[in-house]
Chains A and B, each alone.
Chain A
């Protein structure tokens, strides 16, 4: 399934240099990105570029259909990816639904 929604959360903590304690986040960024709208906007551009990419693939002796299915697999495979990074200075979370 194509990725439809992305959550990006970044919390930046204030931290005293001599202390390992972290304080409540001083900067918070929370974004819910509707990826399905982004794909809708990019769709005309992709359709325009498809013939160009097909010609380029043939010039490089690559099967255009195999290339397309490989990229499609990469595109749909991103769904379900979670990345979380936490330390004293910041907490970052990226989730793709």
Chain B
């Protein structure tokens, strides 16, 4: 059975790129366009990994990560945070929110795939 990855990303194009990349790599995709939806899908579908964008309206990636990491049963799901500003100390904030790894935009799809494979061999 293929691994399920939840992508929480408000940008349609970014979701599409990740979707095309990951489905071609054999993963099953779950998509959420907002932080709230991301938390809901994480609870209902229990994915094997979550790819979390930081810059989202209303509920941002940090808060969504904190909620998921604060929920019993979801805590163990690895979360890779994707930030836009590589240089503004987002990695430290991501770790503080409980993220397991950190990818800075612009990420190359190849790099992202490599990072995901660290958690889902």
State yes or no: do A and B come from one complex: no
